[in-house]
Structure 1
Amino acid sequence: MAKITYVEYGGKEHVVEVATGLTVMEGARDNGIPGIEADCGGACACSTCHVYVDEAWVEKLPPRDPMEEDMLDFAYEPDPVRSRLTCQLRVNEALDGLKVFMPEKQI
């Protein structure tokens, strides 16, 4: 399990425990966190689970693969460094304390 902090666009924080093996997107979906729509269900076929990763975590995460890079082109105001698709972030103990920020909207 890892504690993940999801921060809504307006600043409201949700700290939830997410089971190892799930994705950060599944953790949001399963806990009713607003701001992550996940229209494709985690297939990396849309950008509706886009977040901005806290700067302290950028270097700790695995790099984006080419498919995630392509999908981020469709995200709302992607950041070249901090934007990630939560469906591509698999939870393990190393992600304990991860903090992500939702964009103003998902498209």
Structure 2
Amino acid sequence: MPRITFVEPDGAARTLDLPVGTTLMLGATQNGVRGILADCGGCCSCATCHVYVDEDWADRLPPPEPAEEEMLHGAAAERLPSSRLSCQITVAEALDGLVVRIPDRQV
């Protein structure tokens, strides 16, 4: 299983082994990662699973779809070039070692 590191808002790092095919949002919420609210349950309609993808990984992910781009405009925390919604990132073997930071607020 790919290992994904979530850096929580307080700076604590949580590295999880996540199954291929799940989303980062689902993996985070199922494992008690702090800072991912996921109010919409992964429907790409709330932006409460906003994360910052580590710069070394940003170009390795598929680009965001238009719906994700639109939701990111309403994110509570500052939007950065590396901003993504964790519900829209599907775990794959190629993402082994991915690091994402969780912003200080989702609402």
User: TM-score normalized by structure 1?
Assistant: 0.97
Structure 1: runs of 5+ lacking an equivalent: none
Q: Please report how far the alpha carbon of residue 9 of structure 1 lies from its aligned counterpart in structure 2 after TM superposition.
A: 1.6
Shift of 1:3: 0.4
Counterparts of 2:60 and 2:36 in 1: how far apart (Å)?
22
Matched-pair identity in % = 53
* Gap runs ≥5 in structure 2: none
SS at match of 1:67: helix
TM-score in terms of structure 2 length: 0.97
Whether the 8 Å contact between 2:37 and 2:49 is mirrored in structure 1 is yes
- Other-structure match for 2:57: 57
Deviation at 1:10, TM superposition (A): 1.7
Q: Which residue of 1 aligns with 2:13?
A: 13
**1:84-103 correspondence runs (5 A):** 84-103=84-103
Residue 52 of structure 1 aligns to a residue whose secondary structure is strand
Please give the secondary structure, in 1, of the residue aligned with 2:59. helix
Paired positions, count: 106
Q: Which runs of structure 1 show a deviation greater than 2 angstroms over 4 or more consecutive aligned residues?
A: none
Aligned counterpart, 2:79? 78
Q: Distance in 2 between matches of 1:44 and 1:50?
A: 10
